[in-house]
């Protein structure tokens, strides 16, 4: 069976009618015991398993997924990858992710189609331009790339936008991150799954966790629809449903679940080769390689586990797009959907011990979990392997709430998630 992807193997398999390709991963039955069990087969869970096996040489790892791989938020986002945050702690975290994404396709021999087409955050007034300059400086000090664009630079990069002087939100400039861009969301899940499986990780789909095995206050494993599984340490990466697992595990979280919607239009000719976000309208869009515009915006305002959106937010997001690029007003929507995201009080993730011994959490990524998959996995693997934080994840420990050391990125970078 052919496992590795290369020009030579594609040619060889082409000549053999593509009959020799190996499945990307096995579908094993769960073993009774593992060193580490990870709940959640989305991007974060699969990346965690991969880095646990690769960086920390842990041999007995299982990923347990109640549905199918990447069927939650990993398959429901708008695929934007960026690190344009305000606080140095956040920039270190998200830029680690961008750096890992930059070498990911080569590292795992699977094309995640990370296209560094750049991301712009528009400014609509002189006052916003001053704040934009502050953000650019903060990003650079934090080690990420950032540039302040004047309106003529914005026009050159994205001529489809609304440059009329009588626009309700006239464009004065933008924060530009050239290393930002988009990736292929399913490929990230599948690529990490294939790489983890290649290192011996058992990926168990259609297996729901129904409880934790807690003895004397310590978690010794999980109960699942496929039986009991013992675990040395258990990691929970189940964005959207983090609170449901918390209740089972006897720990508390500062998380609210909300629906976040996204939209794709019919395919049109290339009109946009970057990502543009307007904080004033709250909407953003990019164009996929197939030609569809991929559109996103803010959260629905009603806490929900319903995995579907409501109409007021559709109004808001789509009117925002029409304001940003009036020429797109008549483009038809092809489909839209919603994912359930974890919203934390300071719009920053929670990585750390859960409060119940033996259970560790990776949650609270809000609307921006996809871009953080490599870093989330890398840091969560470090935590699960060693029992202590990597320097980059330490500020995101849940103990920041009683300590009052919040990392309020909703206020810091003006990005509402």
Partner 1 sequence: MQRFPCPFCGPRDEREFHFAGEADKDRPDTTQDISDEAWADYLFNCKNSCGPTREIWVHFPCQEYFIMERDTVTMSVAGTTSVRKDLT
Contacts to partner 1 by CB under 8 A: 241, 243-244, 247, 252-257, 301-306, 310-312, 345, 401-404
Question: Alpha carbon 416 to chain centroid distance?
Answer: 15
Q: Among residues 88 and 412, whose Cβ is nearest to partner 1?
A: 412
Do residues 55 and 375 make contact, with C-beta atoms less than 8 angstroms apart? Answer: no
Q: Are strands 61-64 and 33-39 parallel, antiparallel or unpaired?
A: parallel
Count of beta carbons in the 10 Å neighbourhood of residue 256: 14
Q: How far is the CB of 151 from partner 1 (least distance, A)?
A: 33
Q: Among residues 285 and 365, whose Cβ is nearest to partner 1?
A: 365
Q: How far is the CB of 118 from partner 1 (least distance, A)?
A: 35
Q: Among residues 200 and 312, whose Cβ is nearest to partner 1?
A: 312
Question: Alpha carbon 217 to chain centroid distance?
Answer: 32
Q: Which residue is associated with the tokens 């340490």? A: 233
Q: Which tokens go with 271?
A: 């009109």
DSSP state of 66: S
Distance between CA atoms of 41 and 63, rounded to whole angstroms? 6
Q: How far is the CB of 349 from partner 1 (least distance, A)?
A: 14
Q: Among residues 196 and 338, whose Cβ is nearest to partner 1?
A: 338
Q: Which tokens go with 86?
A: 């305000």
Distance between CA atoms of 27 and 93, rounded to whole angstroms? 33
Distance between CA atoms of 49 and 63, rounded to whole angstroms? 7
Q: Which residue is associated with the tokens 């052919």? A: 2
Distance between CA atoms of 270 and 158, rounded to whole angstroms? 11
| CA gyration radius, the chain | 21
Q: How far is the CB of 6 from partner 1 (least distance, A)?
A: 45
Q: Among residues 159 and 306, whose Cβ is nearest to partner 1?
A: 306
Q: Among residues 286 and 304, whose Cβ is nearest to partner 1?
A: 304
Closest CA to 262 of 289, 220, 296: 296
Q: How far is the CB of 250 from partner 1 (least distance, A)?
A: 13
Distance between CA atoms of 94 and 90, rounded to whole angstroms? 6
Q: How far is the CB of 244 from partner 1 (least distance, A)?
A: 5
Q: Are strands 359-363 and 227-236 parallel, antiparallel or unpaired?
A: parallel
Q: Among residues 163 and 401, whose Cβ is nearest to partner 1?
A: 401
Q: Among residues 1 and 403, whose Cβ is nearest to partner 1?
A: 403
Closest CA to 320 of 161, 212, 205: 161
Q: How far is the CB of 312 from partner 1 (least distance, A)?
A: 5
Q: How far is the CB of 266 from partner 1 (least distance, A)?
A: 25
């Amino acid at each position: 069976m052919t496992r590795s992807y290369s020009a030579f193997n594609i040619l060889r398999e082409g000549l053999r009618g593509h009959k020799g390709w190996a499945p990307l991963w096995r579908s094993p039955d769960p073993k009774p015991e593992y060193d580490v069990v990870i709940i959640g087969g989305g991007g974060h869970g699969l990346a965690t398993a991969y880095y646990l096996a690769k960086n920390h040489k842990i041999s007995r790892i299982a990923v347990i997924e109640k549905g199918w791989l990447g069927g939650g938020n990993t398959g429901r986002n708008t695929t934007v990858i960026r690190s344009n945050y305000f606080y140095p702690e956040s920039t270190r975290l998200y830029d680690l992710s961008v750096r890992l994404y930059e070498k990911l396709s080569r590292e795992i021999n699977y094309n995640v189609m990370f296209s560094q087409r750049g991301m712009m955050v528009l400014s609509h007034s002189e006052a916003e331009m001053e704040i934009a300059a502050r953000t650019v400086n903060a990003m650079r000090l934090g080690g990420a790339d950032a540039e302040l664009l004047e309106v003529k630079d914005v026009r050159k990069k994205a001529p489809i936008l609304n440059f009329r002087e009588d626009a309700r939100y006239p464009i004065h400039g933008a924060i530009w991150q050239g290393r930002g861009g988009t990736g292929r969301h399913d490929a990230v899940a599948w690529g990490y799954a294939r790489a983890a499986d290649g290192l011996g990780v058992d990926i168990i789909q259609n297996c729901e966790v129904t409880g934790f095995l807690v003895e004397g206050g310590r978690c010794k494993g999980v109960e699942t629809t496929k039986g009991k599984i013992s675990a040395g340490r258990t990691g929970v990466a189940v964005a959207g449903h983090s609170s449901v697992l918390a209740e089972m595990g006897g720990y508390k979280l500062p998380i609210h679940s909300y629906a976040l919607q996204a939209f794709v239009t019919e395919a049109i000719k290339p009109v946009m080769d970057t990502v543009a976000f307007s904080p004033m309208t709250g909407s953003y869009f990019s164009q996929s390689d197939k030609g569809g515009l991929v559109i996103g915006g803010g959260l629905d305002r009603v806490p929900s586990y319903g995995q579907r959106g409501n109409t007021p937010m559709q109004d808001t997001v789509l009117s925002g797009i029409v304001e940003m690029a009036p020429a797109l007003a008549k483009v038809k929507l092809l489909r839209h959907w919603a994912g359930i995201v974890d919203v934390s009080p300071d719009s920053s993730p929670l990585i750390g011990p859960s409060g119940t011994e033996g259970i560790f959490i990776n949650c609270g990524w809000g609307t921006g979990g996809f871009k953080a998959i490599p870093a989330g996995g890398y840091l969560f693997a470090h935590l699960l392997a060693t029992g202590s934080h990597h320097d980059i994840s330490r500020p995101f420990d849940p103990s920041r709430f009683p300590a009052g050391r919040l990392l309020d990125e909703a206020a810091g970078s003006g990005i509402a998630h």
